[in-house]
Structure 1
Amino acid sequence: MRLNKYIAHHSSYSRREADKAIQDGYARVDGEIQDNPATQVDEKEVIVYVSGKQITPRDKYTVIVYNKPKGELVTKSDPKGRRTIYDGLDKQYKHFIPVGRLDYATEGVLLLTDASKIATALMNSNLERIYKVKIKGEITSEMESAMMNGMTIDDASAGGHSHSKITSMTFAPFIGYKIQKSEHNYSVLKIAISEGQNREIRRFFAHFGTDVADLKRISFAEVELNNLPTGKTRFLSRSEYSALTTFMKAEQKLKRERGEK
């Protein structure tokens, strides 16, 4: 296993933070300073210290659910001084890693964890994400066809951030959708998707000339928002942890079959 990956997997360091600590000479492997993040280490045998503190392999981890409000960025800090999720979270969660991102104007279920391997596995998964969406205007037959069959957009800049470098985007068929209201002024629907692409839903509807007025994620896999108040957190329930454990075991099995570490 790469040294930076080992540190990130078994500590609160992100991969980027691990890279910097290693390159700055703060990492020791079996007593010797290593400044190359790609250094290979034996996860079962190696002894690693970062800034004088031993990195201990662990299987235990914590996952919390945060009902993210609108108007918070999913980032550690913002050069413009805008509010981030860490301004709303308790201090004990300042080192937790968000599972993906919800944009500034999107609210709802955001998972955070103290284990980067959990965050990475969930982010890259095709687990179901359910959103409640309010759009301006009616839901057209073209929208429904794209939701059912998927589509590729050569120019997906509409609906994206002004600084985004993404051009084309392919949308997989939605897992499902349910129209709750469709009128000339606005429409409301629930959609279930298996991806987490950058501003995917906003880009999808923007392709049809429609703005998303409100967007709320109400569940991520087995984890539902339920009655969690806006801006509050909770731990996963026993059943939610059980489902996550089952998922992680399946991921590890798949990695072994692929010959990955």
Structure 2
Amino acid sequence: MKHEEELEETRLNKFLSHNSKYSRREADRLIEEGKVKVNGKVVDNLATKVTINDEVHINKTLIKEDKNKMPTVIIYNKPKGEIVSKKDPQGRKTIYDSLDKRYQHFMSVGRLDYASEGLLLLSDSVKIVDALMHSNLERKYKLKVNGTIGPKVESAMMQGLELEDATDGAFKTSKIKSMTFAPFIGYSIQSNNENFSKIKVAIVEGKNRELRRFFAHFGLDIMDLKRYEFGGISLNNLPTGKSRFLSKEEYRNLRSFLNESEDDRSF
């Protein structure tokens, strides 16, 4: 167990987003407007950090993490056409419009873009979310691409790829241009045809539209993308748009991972 002086600090906007109905952008605005107090004092510095021992108020409402509450992790089978965000400026549907109200304060472990679907982990523990997001645990995907998976694609999957210009397949607003793609952990081509091909892949990251950028470099657009496993946690038969708790075995595996990566026996 960590001593009090060693408690992990979290950005205030992240703490508010995690423990209230507000998004980080909305939390920033509340902080700037002087509506947030930490330990009785108004703060307006967006860089402010807090620990679970701090008392945080929005106006007169106490926003405080329960230190004794056991953290919860759920699996959500995200459908296409939902944004992984609490609010969308364009007014599109978000995962929180579909999730039960008791999960409105949960944070997602990474994202799946609007056109992607499948396994999304969410938790009410910042520590768990951060640990899983920055882990090297396997992420497994089923892909459908609009063409043939040739020798050059297979070679890059096995050996990795470094691109100075990886903007194909990226969001138009992305500021990330160059990317290094680590060798895939594994892949299995299910079908390979001129019109479209299907493949299963296993990688260790998957952010910044990594897979869409990788295949776009070879002139292949991803028509369908579904994540079906993360760190040994699988969708199994969970219907699209539904959520479930982890099984006892999945929780045991998660505890083992957290203990190994953080040496933290408190979970």
Say whether the fold is shared (TM-score over 0.5): yes
TM-score (structure 2 length as normaliser) = 0.83
The verdict on how the C-alpha distance between 1:150 and 1:64 changes in structure 2, with shifts beyond 3 A counting, is same
Instruction: Tell me, in whole angstroms, the C-alpha distance in 2 between the residues paired with 1:6 and 1:204.
Output: 31
1:121 and 2:127 equivalent?
no
Distance 1:10 1:57, change over 3 A: farther
Q: Residue 12 of structure 2: which of 4, 8, 12 is its match?
A: 4
Cα deviation for residue 14 of structure 1 reads: 6.4
CA distance in structure 1 between the partners assigned to 2:83 and 2:172 by the alignment = 16
Provide the C-alpha distance between the structure 1 equivalents of 2:17 and 2:172, rounded to a whole number of angstroms: 33
Structure 1 segments of 4 or more deviating over 4 A? 12-23, 37-44, 46-50
Q: Is 1:89 paired with 2:99? A: yes
Secondary structure of 1:87's match? helix
Contact 2:143 2:224 in 1 (8 A): yes
What is the match of residue 154 of structure 1?
A: 164
1:64 to 51, 54, 74: 74
Please, which of 231, 236, 239 is the counterpart of residue 241 of structure 2? 231
Q: What are the Cα deviations for residues 7-56 of structure 1, in whole angstroms up to 9, with x where unaligned?
A: 45983476666555544434444433344354566766x55545441624
Structure 1 contact 65–112 (Cα < 8 Å) conserved: yes
Change (3 A) 1:89 1:208: same
CA spacing shift, 1:17–1:116, aligned 2, 3 Å:
farther
State the one-letter code of the partner of 2:146.
K
The letter of the residue matching 1:62 is T
Alpha-carbon distance change, 29 to 107 in structure 1, aligned in 2, over 3 angstroms: closer
CA distance in 2, matches of 1:33, 1:175: 49
TM-superposed CA distance for 1:99, in Å, is: 1.2
- Check conservation: 1:100, 1:123, Cα contact below 8 A: yes
Residue 187 of structure 2 aligns with an amino acid whose one-letter code is Y
SS in 2 for 1:111: strand
Q: Do 1:2 and 1:37's aligned partners in 2 also have CA atoms closer than 8 Å?
A: no
Counterparts of 1:249 and 1:208, CA distance in 2: 40
Q: What are the ranges of 5 or more consecutive residues in structure 2 without an aligned counterpart?
A: 1-8
Local SS of the residue matching 1:241:
helix
> CA offsets, 1:167-214, max 9 Å, x none?
111101111111111122221111000012211111111000111111
CA distance in 2 between partners of 1:5 and 1:250 (Å): 29
Residue of structure 1 in register with 2:34 after alignment: 25
Map residues 68-217 of structure 1 onto 2, 5 A cutoff: 68-217=78-227
Q: Provide TM-score, normalisation by structure 1.
A: 0.85
Distance 2:200 2:97 in 1: 29
Compared with structure 1, are the counterparts of its residues 56 and 107 closer, same or farther at alpha carbon in structure 2 (3 Å cutoff)?
Answer: closer
- State the AA in 2 paired with 1:178: S
Is the 8 Å Cα contact of residues 4 and 15 (structure 1) preserved in structure 2? no
Q: How far is 1:160 from its partner?
A: 1.2
Question: For the residues of structure 2 that align with 1:103 and 1:39, how far apart are their CA atoms?
Answer: 30
Partner of 1:259: none
TM-align CA RMSD: 2.6
What residue in structure 2 maps to residue 257 of structure 1?
none
Question: Residues 214 and 9 (structure 1 numbering): CA distance in 2 closer, same or farther, change over 3 Å?
Answer: closer
Partners in 2 of 1:38 and 1:62 — Cα distance?
A: 27
> Alignment partner of 2:256: what SS?
helix
1:242-257 matched pairs, under 5 angstroms: 242-253=252-263
Q: How many residues align?
A: 253
Amino acid aligned to 1:213: M
Share of identical aligned residues, percent? Answer: 54
- In structure 2, distance between residues paired with 1:252 and 1:174: 26
Structure 1: tracts of 5 or more residues without a match: 255-261
The 1:225/1:41 distance shift into structure 2, 3 A limit, reads: closer
Shift of residue 253, structure 1, vs aligned partner: 3.0
